[in-house]
């Protein structure tokens, strides 16, 4: 007789999170930190020990800081933002007279024909007798 074992709970797959920092920016920041440390503590150590001239250590610190800044300037931003896709284009409306939803047709007060066009000020022009009238 087979014995039934309970199924393990399903674990949803999770996409790994990408690093938000550009590796070149991290390396540039490390060079700046190393250059600052060399400038501050290397010159002190060189002055105490006398092995290397302190001005050389200060120069090395400046060179490291400049290299780090240049690396960060050349790297650019860490994550490029993608543009959203363009909006979908709706299919053209079928040909023929279409009345927008919720609107009413106002006939010409002179002949009763529908207006041919309405300008932005609400003045309609009759398509039959060319009478102009105000649409509220």
Q: What is the pLDDT of residues 93-126, one digit of tens each?
A: 565 556 566 567 788 888 888 888 888 888 888 8
Instruction: Tell me if 99 is assigned to some domain.
Output: no
Regarding whether 71 and 28 lie in a shared domain, the answer is yes
Looking at 52, 75, 98, the residue that finishes a domain is 75
Instruction: Tell me if 95 is assigned to some domain.
Output: no
Instruction: Tell me if 87 is assigned to some domain.
Output: no
Q: Locate 50 and state its tokens.
A: 């006398």
Note the helical H segments in 5-123: 23-37, 43-49, 54-75
From 12-16, 29-33, 51-55, 114-118, the region with the lowest mean pLDDT: 12-16
- 49-102, pLDDT tens digit by residue? 988 899 999 999 999 999 999 998 888 765 566 777 777 776 665 655 565 665
Q: Locate 86 and state its tokens.
A: 């363009």
- Across the beta sheet with 132-134, the strand order is 115-118, 123-126, 132-134
Instruction: Tell me if 85 is assigned to some domain.
Output: no
For the chain, the domain total comes to 2
Question: How do beta strands 115-118 and 132-134 pair?
Answer: unpaired
**Cα first-last separation, the chain:** 85
Domain limits for position 136: 106-136
Which residue from 35, 38, 26 is spatially nearest to 65, judged by alpha carbons?
A: 35
Instruction: Tell me if 88 is assigned to some domain.
Output: no
* Distance between CA atoms of residues 114 and 129, nearest Å: 10
Judged by DSSP in three states, 79 sits in: coil
Instruction: Tell me if 128 is assigned to some domain.
Output: yes
């Amino acid at each position: 007789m087979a014995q039934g074992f309970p199924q393990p709970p399903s674990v949803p797959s999770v996409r790994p999170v990408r690093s938000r920092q550009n590796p070149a920016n991290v390396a540039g920041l490390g060079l700046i930190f190393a250059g600052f440390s060399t400038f501050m503590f290397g010159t002190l150590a060189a002055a105490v020990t006398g092995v290397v001239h302190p001005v050389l250590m200060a120069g090395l610190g400046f060179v490291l800081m400049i290299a780090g800044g240049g690396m960060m300037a050349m790297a650019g931003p860490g994550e490029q933002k993608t543009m959203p896709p363009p909006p979908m284009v709706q299919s053209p409306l079928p040909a023929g007279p279409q009345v927008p939803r919720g609107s009413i047709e106002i006939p010409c007060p002179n002949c009763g024909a529908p207006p041919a066009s309405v300008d932005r000020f609400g003045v309609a022009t009759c398509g039959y007798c060319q009478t102009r009238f105000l649409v509220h």
